[in-house]
Structure 1
Amino acid sequence: MNPGLLIGVAVAIAALFFGGKLLFSGKSEQSLAGSELDMATVEENANSLRGNEYVVEGKIDDRVLWTDDQGQVVSLKVDSPAGPRFLGIEIPPGLSDVNIEREQTYAFRISFRQGGIAVAEEIARR
């Protein structure tokens, strides 16, 4: 067999392998539906936000509480025009397949339950 042909085939296979790896290992930006959360309104009266869904993006400051059967609560650091603000978000056990890591950026689609508690409906890592 021709050595030039062997080299050409080897290069093509390597290109397909590494090209596919780059294509499929890239992070996809998942779009979350909802109105952007106004942190000033949260600070004034989060209970008034019940009944709607909002999208908020920020960096995980800390995992405050975590149990297998009840989910977890995280502290999200949100940049705002008035400076960084913090929002506690309850993550129910049904969303436990998302590995939440400190100092990583996430987008949350949230709703508010009685008492102005933010509850995650959907999570996307950025």
Structure 2
Amino acid sequence: MAGQRSAAQEEVRFRVLRLLQDNPEMSQRELANAVRISVGGAHYVLSALIEKGLIKLGNFSASSDKRRYAYILTPKGVVEKTALTKRLFLRKCAEYDALKAEIMALHDEVGTGITPHE
């Protein structure tokens, strides 16, 4: 169970870093909606990423509302995002292989009258 939670948390961190790299001006609400977590969850993740030095907080100068912030990936954040990308890619490939094997086993069980894409 802890492994699944850790993998899910890692995926959330990856998705947040990925979104912020392309859209540093996203609000916490926009980020929460995009990642499908609560606004409180987004705040928690952002705070943790700031504390770890993976993102830094700056004013979003193009905004008329000077209370808006930009979340900018630090060089350390870019390195971490790259490492997360690799781990996520490897995990998703393993999941894909396992799912493909399960589909083939079910196909063999059902018989040859059905193709996997029907």
What TM-score range do you get, normalising by the shorter chain? under 0.3
TM-score by length of 1: 0.22
Larger Rg: 1
TM-score by length of 2: 0.23
